[in-house]
Structures are given as structure tokens and as C-alpha cells.
Amino acid sequence: MASKKTIEVVKDVISQSSPRKFLETIELAINIKEVDLSIPKNRIDEEVLLPKGRGKEQLIAVFGSGELAVKAKSSADRVITPDEIEELAGDKREARKFANKYNHFISEAPLMPVIGKQLGVVLGPRGKMPKPIPPAADPGPMVKNLKNTVRVRSKDRKTFHVPVGTKKMTVEDIADNIETIMKRVTGRLERGKNNIAAVYVKTSMGKSVKLM
């Protein structure tokens, strides 16, 4: 269970937020210090499975053929065949829309080189290159996990944001997600919490409340 402090901060954030016509995301703003992010290996780039879920739908696309494509149809939001990969690559505007629409991608392992060559230019910069899966595997479990996964990515910035849930979730569930992410982030830093300058919690459009 999350600490009392984290729960109280989430309560403050939600109580201070104004009603909106859309479902607001709750996010963390993490500021790290004394880390040289010009060196790629020092950057944070983690995928974290949130114990209480995202609180909103995540769209998953699967690149596959044959048996894998058939299995994927029952769990994924879209299945892309090998022929469609070339079609997408030939229409840059459609390829960008495609890359922006889906949150995560899975690919039959043998198709990875083709995807890298044809669609790497749109998927790579967005941090959305597919996760490989064996051709005979069932993508269902991976799709299920990805629907509750967030990407924690600093790039070369010392301040970065991570979604941890939505306003429709319970305070306790959001707090659990926050502590799961912070555990992963501090675990990646050489000096752990000593490399954290500050952490804030906020809604999409609301004010920030300091967590640490």
C-alpha cells in the first residue's frame, strides 16, 4: 500500500482541480539532478507495468501474419499484415497518423527488420518500435500487459512527465502507481533518491503539488 504522504498529495491534486469536459490524466513531473543526460546510457527509458492500470484505454497494434495474426485479432486493436507495412511506408502522412494513434506495438519477430527499414522513421523517434514475439506465440498476454504499461522516458531532459492514472481512479490506486514508477526511476539512477531534485503530481490542466 502507498504511503500516507503520497495519498495525501494525490488527494490535494484532485481536490484543487477544476471540473473538465474530458477525463484528465494524473501525471508525475520528475526532475533529476547531477546526471549527465548527454550520455545516452544515463538516460531513463523504462516501460513500467502499473499495478492499478492506466485508467484509460490504450490502443495496441500487432504486426503479424498467419497463426499469430489470427490469434492477435481477439486481443489487439489492430493487426497489420506484411503487405500493409509497405502500404503505410508509402504514405508518410498516414504512417504518422498510424504511429500517433496506437500506444504500443508488437511484431512477429521475423518482421522486425522490415518494420525498422520501412517504418522506423516514424516509430523510432516516438519510442514506439515494436516488441518482438515468436511467430507461434499468443500475443494476448503481452497485449494485456501493454494496455497497463507506461513509458518513462527522460531523453536528454532533466525534467520529464509520466502518466500515472486518471481522475476517475481511486486516490489509493493512483498513489500505488506513483510509488511503482518512483521505485523504478530511483533504481535506474546511480545515486538513487539523491539524484532526484523534485517530484510533482498534477492533473493535465491543473496545478502541481510537490511530492518530494
Considering only CA atoms, which of 99, 97, 108 is closest in space to residue 72? Answer: 108
pTM: 0.83
Phi, psi (5° rounding) for residue 77? -85, -20
C-alpha cell at 38: 548527454
| Cα angle for residues 167, 171, 175 (degrees, 5° grid) | 110
pLDDT tens-digit readout, 168-197: 999 999 999 999 999 999 999 999 999 999
For residues 110-132, average pLDDT: 92
Q: What does the pLDDT average to over 92-118?
A: 93
Model confidence band, residue 206 (pLDDT cutoffs 50, 70, 90): confident
The radius of gyration of the chain from alpha carbons, rounded to an integer in Å, stands at 19
In the chain the domains, ranked by start, together with CATH numbers, are 4-55+150-210 (3.30.190.20), 60-146 (3.40.50.790)
The pLDDT score that the predictor gives to residue 164 is 95
Say what percent of the chain tops pLDDT 70. 100
